[in-house]
A and B are shown apart, each in its own frame.
Chain A
Amino acid sequence: MAADPIWWCSSMSLLDFNRLVPAHIQSFEVYVPSKPDTEFMRLYGVDHLYRLNNNENALGPPPEVFDILQAFPPRAVPVYPNGDCFDLRNVLAEKFNKDPEQFLVGNGSCEVIASVIKAFCQEGDNIITADKTFAVYEWVAQFSGFEAKLVPLKDHAFDLDAMILAMDDRTKILFVCNPNNPTGTYWNTTTMTDFLDRVDNRALVVIDEAYCEYVEAPDFPDGLALMERYPNVIVFRTFSKMYALASLRIGYLCGALDVVNMVRRTHVVYSVNTLAQRSAAAALSNDGSFIRDTRKMVGDAKALVCPLLEELGLDFLCNQGNYLMVHLPFSDTLMYRKLMTKGIMVRTMTGFRFPNWIRVSLVQMPVMEEFCVAFQQIIQEMRPQRG
């Protein structure tokens, strides 16, 4: 209630810096990343912490990346990285049969989200995405002062018709997360092309394929192929998920030359470090056995966890990607705290508009087994209290 109007106390010379801050920044909530593992382990009194909260690939990185990391010369550290990831873009171009200029590499794909929004939106413009999807599209738009129109998911998937309906003449970008984080649903080729036809080049369409390497379904659309027919398509990919380079922060976008040329103008050069560039190139050289092993790990984890969830009578979503979601009969944030006391960290989904759901990343077997035991124990101990 009592605002704090102390600024007139000139003797205190307090700067009223709020005056300098735009309203859309003042009203924006800060994202608080979690504490370091050691701090959590001390607080929760556990000797280990399994992070099943960020959809990391615990199997990685691929052995080829180990070699790069181990051989990295300390003498390379004082030298700036290549400013626009020249070598890596060539590797990508060759692999996907594109022009190297069609790629823009960022400090994680999160960085390219910001670059695209900056390049195409101006005051009064809006972007469209889903209400329950990766939140960074919405956040970047909002703290940049643009409206994010959030279209509710339908049956846990992006709602094509509603997204088209939400478009207006100030809509600049539509973000489609395919497959969707956190629901794992995806648009197949028919749906995606239908959508692109109906957008009809009126706006850009970003297809975020952060988890595409996990998808084995034959009808899953390849955004890189679609952009040949639809020049308004921009594809995002990341090395943080399947390729397990999350700590190096590297991801990229690919689009038509004209489009990428525009985005490049707003993109910070030198934002991707040398180790990340080299590791990413090395990771791409192994997308046979490493991807196969990872998919098997995820498949095994699903085969273990899903029957347990069924047996416990819980509603869950296990679709594409290295994660699944569970609807709990009580608060997700309580489940989080209880699992933490057993050394397991999951993602609570209340803040992602899924109250009482958790999202669990799927990792190797001994850890998944430990998760199952802990999870089942907690569910059972909560049941008698709740009737």
Chain B
Amino acid sequence: MIKLNQPVLMELQADMAWIPLVQAVVEQGAPVLGLDRSKTLRLTMAVEEIVSHLARTALGTKIGFSLKPYGWHVLAEFSFRADPSHLWAMNLAAKPNLSDPNDLDHLGLLLASRMVDGFTLHLEGEVVHLALRQDCSYPVVTKIAADPIRSKGKLTIVPAPESAFIQAACVRAVNLYPARKNHTAFSMPGKVADMVAQKDMDMALVLDETSALAGMICWQALSEKGIGFFGPYVFCREEQAAALLTEHLIQRVARTKAMGLFSELATPELTTKEFESLGHFSYVQSDGQASREEVWYRHLGEDMGASVWAHPAMVSFLSAAYGRLVLMRDIRETCGFGEALPRRSVFSTQLRPELGEATLMPMVTGADAKDCVARHVDTLCRENFSNIFFKLDLAFGWQAALGGVLMENGFKPRLLLPHGGRSDLVVFQYEPA
């Protein structure tokens, strides 16, 4: 499909009168940027809901709006000045009080958040930035049982594979590895190729002398200083392939500004001698069986030390983790001393229903944080998500302060990811007593 690579930008005021215009922009614009009919329709509805919500709750506020193509997805981005508390309805677990007319005003947001493939929300001073992500549609491949090949001759790295090889590698990974070990996008090889083209993912392959695919590794920036990798996926019987891929990965990322390299999903073939274990998650698989996912870490530079925020309840976990990793951090405690907070919180939620996995992150923490966490857990558990994670970025006092609330709600700090966010990330896992 031909996709234009130009954004559409506009500025308007929050007013019902502009809704048809914004609708038209998305309706006409999104297909040009690569979305199909049904995705376009859903995005149009979501955008309409946001503008109408702002017109009701912040009439006349200036809204910056853009529709931008990113290869494999389109972003509809808004920026405006408004009370971020009003956005609570974008929470997965938002439960409006149906008898309160104010709450009904927010129902549209709930709808909007369900219409799109993802959204992010962040505050910059008083300005709210809200981005709705709608992914392009791609054909999905299903697993066909296959065997690893017997490679011939010398294996060589392909540092920047072309699209056809990328897609073939995804198919091999889907066929040879369990879904739990694969990046969600592998089942849509075209999407992965577009992600690589868009530089939202990097991939390297190994080929044998006959140009047969012998292995693949891929990685993505998690943050400015953190990179997560998937693999190495080995499609042949040669052990050497995994080592080649891992070594190549380290060389490739060593000269970037990244400080930390993590396994997002490590396969058993990973040569771990140059990695440090960060610990593990326990997983409940779809068949109810428990499994463990070890997370491996490679520090890429000379650690300069840093300061991080922590709720007092997390300090002992952090001290132990930093001690084990020999990472020097000044831990500054924060727990909130009754300062004015937005009334309601907003959390983002990433779902992998096929794995029963949900990952939450705070976007706005409000006075209702405790209830909001409890509501999310409740909703997720009812929808059969048995692996619930919550990530806090210790660069931000307001995120770290949430640690106490999480621990009171059955979450336990599980892993520390150095440089996993703006600063170090702590991953909590829901483990009710």
A and B from one complex: yes
Binding site for B on A (CB under 8 A): 1-6, 8-12, 29-30, 32, 34-35, 39-40, 43-44, 329-331, 333-334, 336-338, 340-341, 347-348, 350-351, 353, 355-356, 386
Cβ–Cβ contact A334 & B257, under 8 A: no
User: Do residues A11 and B62 form an inter-chain contact, with CB atoms below 8 A?
Assistant: yes
How far is A34 from B129 in the complex, measured between Cα atoms in Å? 35
Interchain CB contact under 8 A, A336 and B274: no
Decide: A336 and B303 in contact? CB cutoff 8 A. yes
A334 lies within 8 A of B299 (CB): yes
Which chain A residues border B257 with CB–CB below 8 Å?
29-30
Among B124, B273, B276, chain A packs the most CB atoms within 10 A around the CB of: B273
| Inter-subunit contact B302/A12 (CB<8 Å) | no
Chain B stretch 315-336: residues in CB contact (< 8 A) with chain A: 325-328, 330
- Measuring CB to CB, which residues of chain B are less than 8 angstroms from any residue of chain A? 7, 9, 11, 62, 64, 66, 68, 70, 75, 77, 79, 120, 124, 127, 129, 131, 133, 200, 247, 250-251, 254-257, 273-276, 298-305, 325-328, 330
CB neighbours (8 Å) of A30 from chain B are 257
Q: Which residue of A lies closest to B253 (CB)?
A: A350
Determine whether the beta carbon of B326 is less than 8 Å from that of A29: no
Query: Which residues of chain A have C-beta atoms less than 8 A from B7's C-beta?
Result: 5
Q: Which residues of B contact A353 (CB under 8 A)?
A: 251, 254-255
Once the chains bind, are B273 and A386 in contact (CB under 8 Å)? yes
Residues of B within 8 A of A356 (CB): 274
**Nearest B residue (CB) for A350:** B254
Are B274 and A5 in contact (CB-based, < 8 A)? no
A44 touches B328 (CB 8 A): yes
In the complex, chain B residues whose CB is within 8 Å of the CB of A11: 62
B300-A351 in contact (CB<8A): yes
B254 touches A351 (CB 8 A): yes
A23 CA to B129 CA, complexed, in Å: 26
Choice from B124, B247, B304 contacting A6 with Cβ under 8 Å: B124
| Contacts A5-B68, A340-B328, A347-B302 supplied; 12 other A-B pairs, CB < 8 Å | A1-B120, A4-B129, A6-B79, A6-B129, A29-B257, A40-B305, A330-B274, A331-B274, A333-B298, A350-B254, A351-B301, A355-B247
Contacts of B330 in A (CB 8 A): 43
Q: Which of A30, A34, A333, A348 has the most chain B CB atoms closer than 10 A to its own CB?
A: A333
- Chain B residues in 8 Å Cβ range of A386: 273
Residue in A43, A329, A351 whose CB lies within 8 Å of B328? A43
A9 touches B303 (CB 8 A): no
Q: Contact check, B303 vs A333: say whether CB atoms are below 8 A apart.
A: yes
A355 close to B254 (CB less than 8 A): yes
In the bound assembly, the distance between CA atoms of A11 and B247 in angstroms comes to 49
* Residue in B closest to A6 when the chains form the complex, CB atoms: B79
Which B residues are CB-close (under 8 A) to A338? 326
> In the complex, what residues of A have CB within 8 A of residue B298's CB?
331, 333
Is there contact, CB below 8 Å, between A43 and B305?
yes
Contacts of B328 in A (CB 8 A): 43-44, 337, 340
Nearest A-chain residue to B62, judged by Cβ: A11
Residues from chain B with Cβ under 8 Å of A1 in the complex: 70, 75, 120, 133, 200
Kindly list chain A residues whose C-beta atoms are within 8 Å of the C-beta of B11: 8, 10
